[in-house]
Amino acid sequence: MAARPETARKILVYWMDAVMAFLLLMFLVATVTEVLQGRVSVIRAVLVVVALLAFFGLFPFVMREAFEHRPGPTPRLLIAGAIAAGLVVVMPHDGDMTSLWMDPATLWLSLAGMHLRPRTTAWVSAAVVAVVAAFIVLTTGRSWPGVLLSEAVNAAFLIGAMLLWRWLWWVIRDAQKSREARARLAVAEERLRFARDLHDLLGHSLSVITLKSELAAKLATKDAGRAAAEMAAVRVLAGESLFEVQRAVHGYQALDLDEELAGVRAALEAAGASCVIEVRAENLPPAARTLLAWAVREGGTNILKHSAATRCEIRIDGGVLEMVNDGVTGTPTAAGSGLHGLSERLVTAGGSFSAAPTSGGEFLLRAAVPA
């Protein structure tokens, strides 16, 4: 079963937060170890700890700015860069600190890569790597080829990993938006179909009624007999129009159960949710099948509009319908909602209705009709 889009997005961000928290812990442990072994003074260690907390505390906010869209350089990014530069100066680069395979400078470059254009990122990365490598070589006496290669590899890896991470975020975000758009499109198409049918039914009749009413008004003072005949024709047209509207509405009310099941399955699968249907309703009377068709339609609409379902099971056994789906995001119980109207329809017909989350984290819609 595929993960829900919003859940996957949260996992991506929270996983990155957890990675940053782990790195912060590594830096803090290494700093404390340096102090205990007497290689770093307490004052310097305090400066390092404060700067680490500031940098890693700011990191998630800068990252989220770039995950939602592609911004330019922001004040938070510049502040994080200043803190990273300070850390490069005050952090020891020998002893236990050499066991850390990355430093705040390369971490900051991973953020900058999401805010800057690729060419600008390349130039900034080259400059930062060169300056940091030169500083480490001058302060520790280590071999410059090894330091430069290590810094360059770390920077390239972190920038690429962060860009890939953001790309995954964008893919999941776009998939979620596409799913929501398909659900809205299904509802809009149904409204358009109903509006088109009403227009076809009433457009011509109302136009004729308007013309005949205007003609009758003009003839009222000149030819009373003809005016009466025109008004009689208007009455006939109005009655026919009313009959057509009633027949059309009755056609919408007299839903076909099999068609509704097929339609709900197609809509759910288009929205990315699997749908399993089991039906044993061969002996139900037409009125009961119509009620169940209404329940299936409203239940499917409710899933599309008010959940993030990836799985739906529809079971009909006799006169009892059960629709179970995951992705519960709330319970639509407000008066006047579609489920409330469905409940009134079923209870009026002598059936029963319930819709509520289950203890297992799913949502169960249950409708029973007189069989």
Q: What is the mean pLDDT of residues 73-83?
A: 89
DSSP-derived 3-state class of residue 256 = coil
Tell me the pLDDT tens digit for each residue of 171-209.
877 777 777 677 777 777 767 766 666 665 565 566 666
- Token duo for residue 178: 């596409």
Q: Which residues lie closer than 8 Å to 202 by C-beta, 6 or more apart?
A: 241, 244, 245
CA dihedral 79, 84, 87, 93 (to 10 degrees): -170
**Domain match, 230 and 323 both:** no
For residues 87 and 105, what is the distance between their CA atoms, to the nearest angstrom? 8
**Domain match, 146 and 282 both:** no
Single-letter residue type at 169: W
**Domain match, 51 and 124 both:** yes
Q: DSSP labels for 20-62?
A: HHHHHHHHHHHHHHHHHTTSS-HHHHHHHHHHHHHHHHHHHHH
**Domain match, 24 and 151 both:** yes
Give me the domain span that covers residue 271: 257-368
Is it the case that residue 1 has pLDDT exceeding 50? no
Is it the case that residue 119 has pLDDT exceeding 80? yes
Among candidate residues 195, 229, 253, the one where a domain is terminated: 253
Total number of residues shown for the chain: 371
**Domain match, 65 and 108 both:** yes
The single residue listed with the structure tokens 């300056």 is 131
Residue 2: per-residue pLDDT: 41
Residue 332: per-residue pLDDT: 47
**Domain match, 150 and 65 both:** yes
Residue 323: per-residue pLDDT: 93
Q: Which residues lie closer than 8 Å to 339 by C-beta, 6 or more apart?
A: 298, 302, 332, 333, 355, 365
For residues 326 and 307, what is the distance between their CA atoms, to the nearest angstrom? 8
Tell me the pLDDT tens digit for each residue of 201-251.
565 566 666 666 766 666 666 766 766 676 667 666 666 666 666 555 555
**Percentage of the chain modeled with pLDDT above 90:** 11
- Give the Cα-Cα-Cα angle 363, 365, 369 (nearest 5 degrees): 170
Is it the case that residue 270 has pLDDT exceeding 80? no
Given a contact cutoff of 8 angstroms between Cβ atoms, the answer to whether 133 and 151 are in contact is yes
Residue 234: per-residue pLDDT: 67
Phi and psi angles of residue 309, each rounded to the nearest 5 degrees, phi first? -70, 145
| Least confident segment among 78-82, 161-165, 246-250 | 246-250
Is it the case that residue 335 has pLDDT exceeding 60? no
**Domain match, 133 and 245 both:** no
Given a contact cutoff of 8 angstroms between Cβ atoms, the answer to whether 162 and 60 are in contact is no
Q: Which residues lie closer than 8 Å to 162 by C-beta, 6 or more apart?
A: 63, 110, 111, 113, 114
Q: Which residues lie closer than 8 Å to 166 by C-beta, 6 or more apart?
A: 66, 67, 114
Residue 272: per-residue pLDDT: 75
Given a contact cutoff of 8 angstroms between Cβ atoms, the answer to whether 136 and 105 are in contact is no
Residue 216: per-residue pLDDT: 66
- Token duo for residue 262: 């097929």
For residues 302 and 307, what is the distance between their CA atoms, to the nearest angstrom? 7
Cα dihedral 10, 16, 19, 23 sign: negative
Taking alpha carbons only, the member of 263, 255, 352, 310 closest to residue 3 is 310
Strand ranges, E, within the chain: 274-280, 311-317, 320-325, 352-357, 363-368
For residues 209 and 235, what is the distance between their CA atoms, to the nearest angstrom? 8
Residue 37: per-residue pLDDT: 82
CA dihedral 86, 90, 94, 99 (to 10 degrees): -50
Q: What is the CATH number of the domain that holds 219?
A: 1.20.5.1930
pTM of the model: 0.49
Given a contact cutoff of 8 angstroms between Cβ atoms, the answer to whether 308 and 368 are in contact is no
Domain count, the chain: 3
How far, in whole angstroms, is CA 173 from its chain's centroid?
A: 7
For residues 147 and 132, what is the distance between their CA atoms, to the nearest angstrom? 9
Is it the case that residue 308 has pLDDT exceeding 90? no
**Domain match, 156 and 206 both:** no
**Domain match, 62 and 106 both:** yes
DSSP-derived 3-state class of residue 241 = helix
**Domain match, 71 and 134 both:** yes
Among candidate residues 121, 154, 177, the one where a domain is terminated: 177
Average of per-residue pLDDT values in the chain: 79
Q: What is the CATH number of the domain that holds 363?
A: 3.30.565.10
Is it the case that residue 286 has pLDDT exceeding 60? yes
Among candidate residues 177, 194, 226, the one where a domain is terminated: 177
Residue 315: per-residue pLDDT: 93
Given a contact cutoff of 8 angstroms between Cβ atoms, the answer to whether 292 and 316 are in contact is yes
What is the number of other CB atoms lying within 10 angstroms of the CB of residue 146? 11
**Domain match, 269 and 359 both:** yes
The single residue listed with the structure tokens 């020891």 is 92
Cα dihedral 266, 268, 273, 277 sign: negative
**Domain match, 266 and 241 both:** no
Q: Which of the four pLDDT bands, split at 50, 70 and 90, describes residue 4?
A: low
For residues 333 and 339, what is the distance between their CA atoms, to the nearest angstrom? 7
